[in-house]
């Protein structure tokens, strides 16, 4: 398993599905064949498949080991969720996520903190598992940290419009059971989660894709990595950072958050940890003709640490 080492902190990708080609329209309404063509010199045909109009995609969380704590950022799709309106995760039965966690040397009960970048159904799924017809928390010993504004938004939507309207049912079957039996905190979007001599983990506001989306900044000994959730979905957005993603809650704000994040990574050298970038769990960013490109990448298949 590839490991990113940042000073005294390590980060492992926890892949539920590492390579999952999706049709272009799953992500973008405005991406043209010409746009795809223009990027074939730096993105291969698994990432941009122009013949079949598909884009490489992944579903991946990240495990941060810091100061003796195991911090999980995001929780992918989960198994056995009834999702007639989200076909890609309907009744999934995959060992990928738990196998990946095990390969990183951690059992679900060893997770100390879980933080979700946002509460969409592909970021909260493994918070619960089905046990005798009940949804029970997967990370029973963990503090679960959610944006209070994001939580309240979907809670209200479920109350007024029904469960399916709140992230395809994920708020009810993946988030609420945690709040009923685990430690959880509804927090501001700039909270410091871990502050230790070894390093810090803190939330960074990055709203737009969802109402109070956060990124998670990990810093140690002058180095930084940012788990960006759905601020960026696909590497082709480095070439088109202002292009809206199909399901952005506030497309203009999402574009601003994306531009800010990519500028920050290009300026500071921070690693970008994008859970939906197939093949590239860790990338660094450089500028290129007014937009961005991948500078360095650690591929999912690498055995050795990077950095």
Q: Is 230 in the site for Zn ion (CB under 5 A)?
A: yes
Q: How big is the site for Zn ion, counted in residues (CB under 5 A)?
A: 2
The least distance separating Zn ion from the CB of residue 27, rounded to whole angstroms, comes to: 10
Stretch of 33-41, 107-115, 120-128, 158-166 contacting Zn ion, by CB under 5 A:
120-128
Site for Zn ion in 46-75 (CB under 5 A): none
Per-residue three-class SS string for 9-38: EEEEEEEEECCCCEEHHHHCCCCCHHHHHH
Q: Hey, what are 50's tokens?
A: 């122009």
The least distance separating Zn ion from the CB of residue 89, rounded to whole angstroms, comes to: 11
The least distance separating Zn ion from the CB of residue 42, rounded to whole angstroms, comes to: 23
Radius of gyration of the CA atoms of the chain, in A: 18
Stretch of 20-28, 224-232, 245-253, 265-273 contacting Zn ion, by CB under 5 A:
224-232
The least distance separating Zn ion from the CB of residue 230, rounded to whole angstroms, comes to: 4
Stretch of 138-146, 163-171, 190-198, 228-236 contacting Zn ion, by CB under 5 A:
228-236
Closest CB to Zn ion among residues 194, 278: 278
Stretch of 91-99, 107-115, 159-167, 225-233 contacting Zn ion, by CB under 5 A:
225-233
Degrees to nearest 5, angle at CA 167 with 74 and 57: 55
Nearest alpha carbon to residue 276 among 260, 252, 300, 257: 300
Closest CB to Zn ion among residues 69, 227: 227
Closest CB to Zn ion among residues 199, 241: 241
Closest CB to Zn ion among residues 60, 155: 60
Q: Max alpha carbon distance in the chain (Å)?
A: 56
Q: Hey, what are 122's tokens?
A: 């592909």
Strand order across the beta sheet in which 48-49 lies = 22-23, 54-55, 48-49
Q: Is 122 in the site for Zn ion (CB under 5 A)?
A: yes
Closest CB to Zn ion among residues 122, 224: 122
How remote is the C-alpha of 19 from its chain's centroid? 15
Question: Measured between alpha carbons, how far is 277 from 294 in angstroms, rounded to an integer?
Answer: 12
Where do the H-state alpha helices sit in the chain?
24-27, 33-38, 96-103, 121-124, 148-161, 170, 176-181, 251-268
Stretch of 72-80, 97-105, 229-237, 240-248 contacting Zn ion, by CB under 5 A:
229-237
Closest CB to Zn ion among residues 71, 124: 124
Whether residue 143 contacts residue 183, with contact meaning beta carbons closer than 8 Å, is answered with yes
The least distance separating Zn ion from the CB of residue 257, rounded to whole angstroms, comes to: 14
Question: Measured between alpha carbons, how far is 7 from 223 in angstroms, rounded to an integer?
Answer: 7
Provide the mask over 131-170, with x wherever binding to Zn ion is found by CB under 5 A and - wherever it is not.
Answer: ----------------------------------------
> Residues interacting with Zn ion, by CB under 5 A?
122, 230
């Amino acid at each position: 398993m590839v490991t990113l080492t940042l000073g005294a902190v390590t980060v492992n990708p926890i892949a539920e599905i590492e390579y999952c080609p999706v049709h272009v329209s799953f992500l973008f309404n405005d991406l043209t064949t010409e746009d795809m063509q223009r990027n074939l010199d730096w993105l291969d045909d698994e990432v941009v498949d122009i013949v079949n109009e598909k884009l490489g995609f992944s579903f991946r969380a990240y495990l941060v080991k810091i100061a003796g704590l195991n911090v999980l950022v995001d929780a992918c799709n989960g198994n056995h969720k009834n999702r007639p309106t989200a076909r890609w995760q309907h009744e999934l039965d995959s060992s990928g996520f738990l196998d990946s966690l095990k390969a990183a040397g951690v059992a679900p009960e060893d997770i100390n903190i879980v933080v979700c970048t946002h509460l969409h159904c592909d970021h909260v799924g493994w918070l619960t598992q089905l046990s005798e017809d009940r949804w029970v928390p997967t990370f029973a010993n963990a503090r679960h940290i959610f944006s209070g504004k994001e939580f309240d938004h979907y809670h209200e939507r479920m109350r007024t419009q029904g469960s399916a309207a709140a992230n395809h049912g994920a708020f009810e079957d993946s988030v609420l059971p945690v709040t009923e039996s685990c430690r959880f905190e509804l927090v501001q979007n700039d909270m410091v989660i871990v502050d230790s001599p070894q390093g810090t983990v803190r939330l960074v506001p990055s709203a737009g894709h969802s109402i109070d989306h956060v990124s998670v900044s990990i810093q140690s000994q002058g180095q930084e990595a940012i788990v960006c959730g759905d601020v960026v979905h696909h590497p082709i957005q480095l070439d088109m950072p202002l292009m809206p993603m199909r399901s952005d809650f506030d497309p203009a704000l999402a574009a601003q958050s994306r531009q800010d994040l990519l500028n920050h990574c290009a300026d500071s050298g921070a690693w970008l940890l994008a859970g939906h970038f197939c093949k590239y769990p860790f990338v660094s960013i450089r500028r290129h003709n007014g937009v961005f490109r991948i500078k360095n990448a650690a591929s999912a298949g690498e055995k050795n640490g990077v950095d």
